[in-house]
Amino acid sequence: MNNICIIGAGSSGVTVAKSLRDKGLTFDMFEKGSDIGGMWRYENDNGQSSCYASLHIDTSRPNLGYSDFPIDPSLPDFLSHAQFLRHLEAYADANHIRPLVTFNTEVTAVTPKGEGWEVTLSTGETRDYAQVIVANGHLSDPRTPEFAGQFDGPQTHSHHYRTAAPFEGQRVLVVGLGNSAVDIAVDLARRAAHVTVSTRRSAWIMPKYLMGVPIDQWSGFLVRRMKLPVTWARRVMARLIRLGQGDQRRFGLPRPAHPMWREHATLSQELLPYIGHGYIDVKPDVAELRGGKVAFTDDSEAPYDAIIYATGYNITFPFLNKDVFDPGEDAGNLYRRMVSPAHPGLIFAGLVQPVGPTIPLVETQGKWIASLLAGEVALPDRQGMLQEIAEHREKQRRTYLGTARYVLEVDYSHYTKQMKGDMARQA
Ligand X SMILES: Cc1cc2nc3c(=O)[nH]c(=O)nc-3n(C[C@H](O)[C@H](O)[C@H](O)COP(=O)(O)OP(=O)(O)OC[C@H]3O[C@@H](n4cnc5c(N)ncnc54)[C@H](O)[C@@H]3O)c2cc1C
Ligand Y SMILES: NC(=O)c1ccc[n+]([C@@H]2O[C@H](COP(=O)([O-])OP(=O)(O)OC[C@H]3O[C@@H](n4cnc5c(N)ncnc54)[C@H](OP(=O)(O)O)[C@@H]3O)[C@@H](O)[C@H]2O)c1
Name which of residues 397 to 416 contact ligand Y (CB under 6 A): 403, 405
**Residue 38 binds to ligand X (criterion: CB under 6 A):** yes
Residue 337: which of 250, 221, 278, 416 has the closest Cα? 416
For ligand X, the closer CB: 287 or 408:
408
311 interface partner picked from ligand Y, ligand X, none, CB below 5 to 8 A per type? ligand Y
Adjacent-strand bridge partners of 302: 294
Task: Write the DSSP symbol of residue 101.
Answer: E
Touching ligand X, residues 339-368 (CB under 6 A): 350, 357-359
Pairing of strands 126-129, 116-121: antiparallel
Helices 81-94, 11-22: inter-axial angle, 10-degree rounding:
20
Which of 76, 96, 126, 145 is in the footprint of ligand Y by CB under 6 A? 145
Question: Is 252 or 327 the residue whose CB approaches ligand X more closely?
Answer: 327
CB of 176 to ligand X, least distance (A): 12
Helix (H) or strand (E) holding 134: strand 131-134
Binding partner of residue 163 among ligand Y, ligand X, none, CB under 5 to 8 Å per kind?
Answer: none
Report the nearest approach of ligand Y to the CB of residue 322 (Å).
22
Q: What are phi and psi of 256, to 5 degrees?
A: -60, 155
Number of residues that bind ligand Y (CB under 6 A): 25
Q: What is the DSSP letter of 5?
A: E
Q: Phi first, then psi: what are they for 160, rounded to 5°?
A: -95, -5
Q: Segment contacting ligand Y (CB under 6 A): 161-169, 172-180, 325-333, 391-399? A: 172-180
Q: Which residues contact 277 (CB under 8 A, 6 or more apart)?
A: none
SS (H, E, C) 358-409: HHHHHHHHHHHHHHHHCCCCCCCCHHHHHHHHHHHHHHHHHHCCCCHHHCCE
Which partner from the list ligand Y, ligand X, none does 12 bind, CB cut-off 5 to 8 Å by kind? ligand X
Q: Which residue is nearest to ligand Y (CB)?
A: 178
| Gap between the Cα atoms of 261 and 252, Å rounded | 21
Residue of 174, 289, 310, 349 interacting with ligand Y (CB under 6 A): 310
Closest CA to 176 of 40, 282, 268, 302: 282
Q: What is the DSSP-derived secondary structure letter of residue 80? A: B
Q: Is 38 in the site for ligand Y (CB under 6 A)?
A: no
Q: Which stretch binds ligand X (CB under 6 A): 18-26, 43-51, 195-203, 253-261?
A: 43-51
> Residues 6 or more apart from 69 whose CB is under 8 A from it?
90, 91, 94
- Cα gap 154→167, rounded to integer Å: 10
Residue 187 touches ligand X, criterion: CB under 6 A: no
CA distance 59 to 50: 18
- Closest approach of ligand X to the CB of residue 162, in Å: 11
Report the distance separating Cα 251 and Cα 348, nearest Å.
41
| Residue 248 near ligand Y by CB under 6 A | no
Q: Quick one: which of 140, 158, 170, 196 contacts ligand Y (CB under 6 A)?
A: 158
d(CA 150, CA 168): 23
Per-residue x/- track, 102-141, ligand X (CB under 6 A):
----xx---------------------------xxx-xx-
The yes or no reply on residue 181 touching ligand Y (CB under 6 A) is: yes
Residue of 4, 17, 48, 325 that binds ligand X (CB under 6 A): 48
Residue 170 binds ligand Y, judged by CB under 6 A: no
- Residue numbers of the site for ligand X (CB under 6 A)? 7-13, 30-33, 38-40, 46, 48, 50, 55, 57-59, 106-107, 135-137, 139-140, 180, 319, 350, 357-359
User: Which residues of this chain interact with ligand Y, rule CB under 6 A?
Assistant: 55-58, 139, 145, 158, 175-181, 183, 200-201, 264, 285, 310-312, 353, 403, 405
